[in-house]
Amino acid sequence: MKRLILILLFTVVTLVACSENNAEKETVEQITSVEVGEVTEGNLEMTRTFYGRTMPNQTIPVLPPVAGEVTELVVANGDKVEEGDKLATIQSPQGNINIEATADGTITQLSASEGSIVSNQEPFAVIIDLEQLTVQLQVPDVQLGLFKKGEQVVLNMKSAEEETHEATIEYVANSANESGLFSIDLSFDNATTHYNAGVIATVHLEETVVENATLIPTSALVESDDETYVYTIENDQAKKIQVTVQATQSETTAVKAELTKGEQVITSGHLTLTDGSKIEVIGEE
């Protein structure tokens, strides 16, 4: 009997001790480790990228003066010619007539051969000017203000190795095309670079999207239940602050919020936080 009583007493003491230990564990607050970024002020800049292809600055068709048979052909596609150079001789009722280059440039679209008949109604060939190249961009109206006639922009040329060249804005359309975009014509000197027509070119321009904005790291944003907010730090606790996003890019976002320059916002570890959660900042001593 005494032994049974001792076993019962031991069991009761053990249960009480376990209960007390569990209660102590439950009272220990959970602390979340977080990383932080800083609130800054300034303009939010975004890089806008526009694409185009190189085109000849001039495209000039060569029309034979009369119709006739080609008896001599002295040029081929790709040949460079100067204005007045002989391109071919044709035999016609008026006798032998020379076809001459009407401008300096490069011969293209030549399909005639010796013995073929050519018309004076269709181009014998086309002369293109590759000394100056044009790049035409298609721009939406909201970015049209980035381009001013006469200003310089930097072209990135996609060739064997990417190269950059300065180009001049020659034309800014004041009406949209059928696709609702505005044409921008750029030109650059190709005399020493010798690019062909059809090379892809890109233009990168910085646009100020929001001026004098409150800027935060984009990673600080939390979206839940149709609300957007960030967490700041107050007395080692997370403080929830509602924000209105004005514009965002990959690393920085402009917001309207009760935030001050230099204030810290939580950028990592914040997805499990609630208002008032205990936190510790990683990396702080």
Q: What is the pLDDT along the chain (285 residues), one digit of tens a residue?
A: 445 444 444 444 454 455 555 544 444 568 999 999 999 999 999 899 999 999 998 899 999 999 999 999 999 999 999 999 999 999 999 999 999 999 999 999 999 999 999 999 999 999 999 889 999 999 999 999 999 999 999 999 876 567 888 999 999 999 999 999 999 999 999 988 888 888 899 999 999 999 999 999 999 999 988 899 999 999 999 999 999 999 998 899 999 999 999 999 999 999 889 999 999 998 755
pLDDT at residue 28 in the model: 55
Q: How far apart are CA 104 and CA 84, in angstroms?
A: 9
> What is the CATH number assigned to the segment(s) 47-55+130-209?
2.40.30.170
pLDDT at residue 173 in the model: 95
**CATH 2.40.50.100 intervals, the chain:** 64-122
pLDDT at residue 171 in the model: 96
pLDDT at residue 21 in the model: 52
Pairing of the two strands 31-38 and 278-281: parallel
pLDDT at residue 196 in the model: 86
Q: What share of the chain is helix, strand, coil (3-state, %, to 5)?
A: 10, 55, 35
Q: Which two tokens stand for residue 98?
A: 């020379």
Edge-to-edge order in the sheet of strand 86-92: 95-100, 86-92, 68-73, 117-118
- Look at domain 64-122 and name its CATH class: mainly beta
pTM: 0.66
The CATH topology of domain 31-44+212-281 is 2.40.420
Instruction: Find, among 5, 9, 7, the residue nearest to 17 by Cα.
Output: 9
pLDDT at residue 15 in the model: 46
pLDDT at residue 121 in the model: 94
**CATH 2.40.420.20 intervals, the chain:** 31-44+212-281
Instruction: Find, among 95, 96, 98, 99, the residue nearest to 110 by Cα.
Output: 99
**CATH 2.40.30.170 intervals, the chain:** 47-55+130-209
pLDDT at residue 284 in the model: 56
